[in-house]
Amino acid sequence: MSTLKTEVERRRAFAIIAHPDAGKTTLTEKLLLYGGAIHLAGHVRARKDRKSTKSDFMALEQERGISVSTAALQFEYDGMVMNLLDTPGHQDFSEDTYRTLMAVDSAIMLIDASRGVEPQTIKLFKICRERNLPITTFINKMDMPALEAFELLDNVEKVLGISAVPLVWPMGSGRDFKGYFDLYEKKLHRFERTVGGAYKAPEAVGGIESDEVRNLMGDTAHDKFCEDVLIASDALPAFDKEKFLQGTMTPVFFGSAVTNFGVEHLLSHLKELAPAPRPILLDNGDIIEPSDNRFTGFVFKMQANMNKLHRDRVAFVRITSGKFERGMSVSVPRLDKDVKLANPVAFFGQERTTIDTAYAGDIIGIISPGLYRLGDVLYERVSGADKAPEFHPLPRFAPDVYARIVLTDTSKAKQFRKGISELADEGVVQLFNVADASPLIGVIGQLQFEVFKYRIEDEYGAPIRLEPLPFECSRWISPSDASKAGRFDKIVSDEKGNPVLLFESQFRLRSFQEQNPDVELHLHPTY
């Protein structure tokens, strides 16, 4: 009979972080293939022959070949319940990625073998370090021309400042990539390519010194391979799980997601490496233990219109303690009332399945009629005196790009208002001057404008025009300081009526600070 503790201990919640084009969505798909959640990569058919589904469910994502929203995917693997979050790779969506990383207990860092550590990888790694998330590294695209393995390890250590310890050693690269040697089990894993990587790659396990391997590689390549394996085994530091959990060491795997080489090995080790749900330190110094009986959780993502058949909104909730049961009532401090969680779902891309129970470490969806907001806390009130847990607030970044939204078909005003409100609630954009006929939006990067325009026209049927504004930074200020804005600045109000000062340049921002040293400028709302 399972207990709360045993159910929590078999949960794993992890995200994949990577620079764009490193192969993140492909790796996600192949983890599902080897996890038994799908049977044919590329078609991504779910269990029981459900409809085709992908982690990139938005049409724009499929057209552009990028992830711009966080997909939640839950599957069972070898007795473990895996909650995988495929985060946006593009830097313009770093705010969504940051929020997602607050909902997981570890991360897989994906690196392109031909490029090493790239700028967006560095940014995402820093977020993981801030949260003390253990990181497992998968060096991808070994089937393409690649940097030397020692060079890649050195690159990770020098750029990121973390000890990189290989658990396997690659057998060649590019067209000569045939598999890897497990440095701890002392076994050579050789693969055969499958057509398009649609099926699991046939694998042979043997020794490194066999004549068959020498003939396969050639004398020169085989001698170098054996020498490199010897150096990696004897000269590099041994893997230390405690250092990994502390975030100072990363185990490194080599492989190719597109050909399926090394994916199963990564997944089997992830079961042991990735930590179970961890205690959470609250802002008031209290600690939430995952195995506490009281249910707690927080909303880290909102998504409208995931499936056009439903036309609803889903609040993604990370359960942080206790057991969730369908129909239970929880308190929402922001609303100052109790709500009944009657429509909980688990996700498989855009597919959803109604669930009856879930545990700490799980990611669940709550069908929301506009009730929830990003950062909402949900908790079970055991007694009337219970206090709400004080989770660290979800981040809101000051936008760098601004535009005015102009509705080009006034007969669609109702859809327009609904669209901008719901997309702002999701965090797709930040909305300013809400009461104006042509409100303003602010974003981190230009691609967010494209996503916003696409979604408001495709999902809400409201045609719009975006008129760029000449501002490149903003700061929140107190109402009493709003009158101090200069003629090159613009005062706007956010969704809650707080004044925000827009600056035309970083130079103008610095000038304002020098001229008004008594004015406090904030990177995010202080409420």
On whether the CB atoms of residues 472 and 401 are closer than 8 A, the answer is: yes
- 272 and 289 in a single domain? The answer is no
User: What is the DSSP secondary structure assignment for residue 256, as one 8-state letter?
Assistant: B
Here the tokens at position 202 are: 């046939």
Here the tokens at position 477 are: 């200020």
Give pLDDT < 70 ranges for the chain. 1, 38-71, 88-94, 194-199, 201-202, 305-311, 348-350, 383-385, 526-527
pLDDT of amino acid 92:
54
Residues whose CB is less than 8 angstroms from the CB of residue 145 and which lie 6 or more positions away in sequence, other chains included: 114, 173, 174
CATH code where residue 93 lies: 3.40.50.300
- 129 and 163 in a single domain? The answer is yes
Residue with tokens 């219109």: 305
Last-in-domain residue among 232, 249, 276: 276
Distance CA 312, CA 371 (A): 12
Here the tokens at position 47 are: 């269990």
Give the residue numbers spanning the domain of 191. Answer: 12-69+88-276
- Which residue blocks in 11-162 are alpha helix, DSSP H? 24-34, 59-64, 94-101, 119-130, 149-160
Distance CA 158, CA 131 (A): 21
In a domain, 352, yes or no: yes
Q: Give me the residues paired with residue 86 across strands.
A: 16, 71
What φ, ψ does residue 487 adopt, rounded to 5°?
A: -70, -15
CATH code where residue 345 lies: 2.40.30.10
Distance CA 368, CA 317 (A): 12
What φ, ψ does residue 398 adopt, rounded to 5°?
A: -70, 125
Distance CA 296, CA 288 (A): 9
pLDDT in tens, 162-198: 999 999 999 989 988 988 999 999 989 988 776 666 6
As a whole number of Å, the end-to-end CA separation of the chain is 45
Distance CA 201, CA 293 (A): 43
CATH code where residue 495 lies: 3.30.70.3280
| Helix, coil or strand: residue 384 | coil
- 308 and 263 in a single domain? The answer is no
Last-in-domain residue among 379, 412, 441: 379
CA dihedral (332, 334, 337, 340) positive or negative? negative
Distance CA 210, CA 181 (A): 13
In a domain, 270, yes or no: yes
pLDDT of amino acid 293:
92
* DSSP per-residue string spanning 49-88: GPPB--S--SHHHHHHT---SPEEEEEEETTEEEEEEE--
pLDDT of amino acid 393:
80
In a domain, 188, yes or no: yes
